[in-house]
Structure 1
Amino acid sequence: MDELLFRLSNQLEALQVQASVTAQQGQQWCAVWFAEVQRLSQDLYNEQYGHQVIDFVKNLGSYLESGWEQLQFHYYSLQFNPREFYQHLGNLCFSDVTRRELAFCITGLIIGSVAGYNIGLNWQRPSHHMHHMKAIICHHYIGIEGVSTIDDAEMPTIQKSNELLIQVRAASVNVVDAKICWGYSKAYRRLLNSGSFLYCQRYKELPVTLGRDCSGVVVDIGQSVINFDIGDEVYLAVPPWASGTMAEYLVIPECQVAKRPRLVTFEASASLPYSGCLAWDALVNKSNIQEGNARGKRVLVYGGSTPVGCILIQLVKFWGGHVVTACKPHAIPVTRALGADEVIPFNESNIEKELELHDKYHAIFYTGGQPIDEFILKKHLLPYGSYVSTMPEYLTSDSLGFFFGSIFSGCVRIKLMVQYMFGCNIHHWKEGSKINTAYLQSLRDLVDADQLQTVVDRAFAPHNIEQALHHVLDPNAIGSTIIKFQ
């Protein structure tokens, strides 16, 4: 301890000598400065207002000189004995503080200093640099007129360890996107996209990004992602109440993504996820057709040239069923190429009379196209046959007022809380239950085996989104409509 005190005393004395030298140099500098001020004052003496200037300078110089002299006096009159100081400090500590307390104090100071130093080194301030991207959004629920493409949308970043950042290459336009422009599923969108345990914490009610599926490349991954790596080419689908996919970049959980087919382009891959999941779910979960086995079944696909219809025709035919489809006359060659055994054209004749000319069906799928009353189609079902519509269902929740809407919101939130407590998947609400990565993997395998063909009608640039939405609503469209981002 004495040796430590001796070294500290020597260092303090050296510091005192250095301070004295610095003070002397400062005094010399001030003397030179005062002489220069005096010379300038003499030069200004013969000028106009010279007397006033020289008086001001003299007063200022006198004030500074007296202040410096006082500072010097206090400095040199200060007597500091380091050895005596440490002796008094030691007496104070050892007289009032035990050695154990002093040891704890020193240990705490050391640990705190080391911890603070490490925290300071590893502290990462959040970056305020914001990257922007192109996105297709709906500003208001007034129809297609409320949709536009913006170039300054905030680029999303990975927030959870199970998320992927995907660079979107292409996204398909679906009928439900046009309905979203009119407010479709807005109640579920408001309820299911808020809260710490729900789909997306970065959600705002409006504007909402359009798009239900896409294909792209993984550019970043969370720490706990195990099935994907940077550079993987993937595709995915999301339910109507979720944030959309028509943006240059997208963040989404790993459990909702599958690797895309490698034998087709990004545009062709983007035509499959949403429509393919709807078609697969309609066959396997909603109809009396077993997965992989449609032998002996007569199936009517009403609207065979729609995106869902094109996939339904191929799946039923591949599983061994007999496919009859109804479509526009100009789409007949396409549907026959996809495997349809019989084709009923939509023409000026009565479609009901055309249906009477054919045998009844084990399953009927309505996928859009020319409108028809479902009761007319159901009359042509065999006993215990199944009728399935793949069109977006009507949601009463979108038209509820404040009172009934509040009751509905309360019920949904309670159910969400119960599901969260029991570990249920929130993504299975409504049409979310129809979207499954297992379906995406099966579709990918069929495409790579050249047993499922993709049908892309037209591809648009993002700034032509209004034309794309009008085209997807056109009953003459065949197959999928695509937005290309890359």
Structure 2
Amino acid sequence: MDEMIFRIGQRLENLQIKTLLVLARAKESIVILTERGNLIFLELWNNPTFVDAKTNMHSGVLKLISSAKELKLKIVSFANPRQMYIAFINVFGKKWTTRDICFACSGLLIGGIIGLTIGVNLRKRQPVLRYMQAIQCSNYLGPESVTIAEDAFAPYECTDYDVLVNVKAASVQVIDLQICSGYGRTLRRILQQSRSDLPVTLGRDCTGVITDIGSKVTRLEVGDEVWLSVPFWCQGTLCQSMLVCENRVARKPKNIGFEGACSLPYAGSLALSALAEARIEALNARHKRVLVQGGCTPVGCVLIQLLNHWQAEVTATCYQRAVPVVKALGASDMIVLTEMDTPNETTFSEIDRLEQNNAYLKELKTRGDFFDVIIKTGVECDLDNHDLSNFLKTDGTIISTLPPALTSDSYGVFRRLLLSFYINLKYKLQDFLGLPKNNFDETHMCYVTLDRLTEFVEDGYLQTVVDKIYQPHDIEIALHHIQNPHSMGSTVITFR
């Protein structure tokens, strides 16, 4: 037992000695570090650069204190009523000469003008907010995303080349259905230079009355009854008021009303563009054979009338219900499409469509006709160009007025940035070189085309074809109606 106590005591002594050694070494290290730190601090403190900096800082503080004292004395001196009275007497108590009075008045006048100018320029202008009713697409989920906005922002002032139109009526087009599903969203954001392309107002054409014009507008006047058409990447026309560039606006025909007239601007522009692409005009259309696929569409109705007036031989496709209409428009021959079992539905099943295409192809083969031009204006028959080319003459051509597919709609952020850079660079080069801009094949939507349509209407050989007229709150019914393959002519929304 004693031996165990002895060993424990011996180990404790050894531990105590080691602890003292460690503490002594730690103390020596701290003393050494402290001495080195003092030496480094003294070297920095006595460094010439640091000494100069201390001297400059001290001088700066003294000058600041001196300036503050002088400013205090001046303020006290100026605030002294006695000093203010003496200064007032020195200025106004002497006898003023005519020269002094003129200088004083001039100073007051110039100072007042400068102050007023600065005040007007710096005045915080309150934005004028006006609201209107508009039919808009709030997201790209199809026709179900269309809403009637009662508080849409209404334009109220024109820039130099713009006109403000009070919309009376606007048509609903098939492209509006595609816009509801995202058609043109990338180009819409780039070309409108907007962070977001939503909400987008639907409608591609309208009629109305001009309520205001820009300072440099010379072709139009306030009070003119006009019609207009806009491209797919612009905000649409299904709203109560619209601000648009004067180049897209023309006076509407005087012999038709607002609702009838709005069936022609967009459809007529596409029809004239298709005829120009096919190189058909009044001078060479005689006896040309043209197949209009979709004779009851808005574009088809315009094409049939123009081609008939130019004495071309027009064959049009339509359903049995529309035969009297197509015949009255001037079609010399008709291909009556097979009626489906569910004529009131907006879309056909794949089996029904396949049967219809086969029947249409069989009818073309049975006839054995060859056409100079085939113009596709509707989707009721979706034969591809390879099948249709078998019914063309040697130099014949196939033209489509349907909206072309846009690969840019599926672009991601990086590719969208590249496309934006390319478009902006292209436009800057065109402006620099003075070249005309081609806004994605929409140059035909301008007042020149609309003026031609006005002449056709006023001369009496272009008639309006309106199937249904709805109020804005019936937009869902209107969109449902234009999807029906049995609809004829244009579907119109009236804002009156």
Report the TM range for the smaller structure's normalisation: 0.7 to 0.9
Bigger shift: 380-389 or 344-353?
344-353
TM-score of the two chains, using structure 2 as the length reference: 0.74
Give the structure with higher Rg (CA): 2
Return the offset for 1:444: 0.8
Bigger shift: 398-407 or 238-247?
398-407
Letter paired with 1:85: N
Partner Cα distance (1:257, 1:279) in 2 = 18
Answer yes or no: is the 8 Å Cα contact 1:239–1:431 preserved in 2.
no
May I ask how many residue pairs the two structures share in their alignment? 396
Aligned position for 2:281? 290
1:463 maps to 2:482? no
Percent identical pairs in the alignment equals 39
Specify the SS of the correspondent of 1:344: strand
Return the offset for 1:404: 2.9
Answer yes or no: is the 8 Å Cα contact 2:158–2:212 preserved in 1.
no
Answer yes or no: is the 8 Å Cα contact 2:158–2:213 preserved in 1.
no
Partner Cα distance (1:87, 1:129) in 2 = 48
Answer yes or no: is the 8 Å Cα contact 1:212–1:239 preserved in 2.
yes
Letter paired with 2:442: G
Specify the SS of the correspondent of 1:432: coil
1:421 maps to 2:426? no
1:484 maps to 2:483? no
Answer yes or no: is the 8 Å Cα contact 2:281–2:310 preserved in 1.
no
Aligned partner (choices 223, 230, 240) of residue 248 of structure 1: 240
1:86 maps to 2:91? yes
Specify the SS of the correspondent of 2:454: helix
Letter paired with 2:445: I
Letter paired with 1:311: V
Bigger shift: 133-142 or 105-114?
105-114
Aligned position for 1:439? 449
Partner Cα distance (1:324, 1:104) in 2 = 89
Aligned position for 2:163? 164
Aligned partner (choices 202, 205, 215) of residue 210 of structure 1: 202
Q: How does 1:73-472 map to 2 (within 5 A)?
A: 80=85, 84-86=89-91, 107=106, 109-117=108-116, 126-194=125-193, 204-284=196-276, 286-347=277-338, 350-356=359-365, 357-370=367-380, 371-424=382-435, 426=437, 428-472=438-482
Partner Cα distance (1:416, 1:117) in 2 = 41
TM-score of the two chains, using structure 1 as the length reference: 0.75
Specify the SS of the correspondent of 1:418: helix
Distance 1:84 1:403, change over 3 A: closer
Return the offset for 1:479: 0.4
Return the offset for 1:211: 0.7
Letter paired with 2:165: I
Letter paired with 1:438: V
Return the offset for 1:403: 3.3
Answer yes or no: is the 8 Å Cα contact 1:293–1:320 preserved in 2.
no
Distance 1:385 1:288, change over 3 A: farther
Return the offset for 1:114: 3.5
* Structure 2: stretches of 5+ with no match in the other structure: 1-79, 339-355
Letter paired with 1:174: Q
Letter paired with 2:192: N
Partner Cα distance (2:88, 2:124) in 1 = 45
Answer yes or no: is the 8 Å Cα contact 1:240–1:431 preserved in 2.
no
Distance 1:89 1:398, change over 3 A: farther
Return the offset for 1:261: 1.1
Partner Cα distance (1:257, 1:408) in 2 = 29
Return the offset for 1:225: 1.4
* Structure 1: stretches of 5+ with no match in the other structure: 1-74, 91-99, 195-200
Answer yes or no: is the 8 Å Cα contact 1:149–1:462 preserved in 2.
yes
Specify the SS of the correspondent of 2:383: coil
Answer yes or no: is the 8 Å Cα contact 1:219–1:230 preserved in 2.
yes
- Cα deviation digits, residues 438-459 of structure 1 (max 9, x gap): 1111111111121101100001
- Cα deviation digits, residues 455-483 of structure 1 (max 9, x gap): 00001111111211121121111000111
Letter paired with 1:353: K
Specify the SS of the correspondent of 1:184: coil
Specify the SS of the correspondent of 2:375: strand
Specify the SS of the correspondent of 2:442: helix
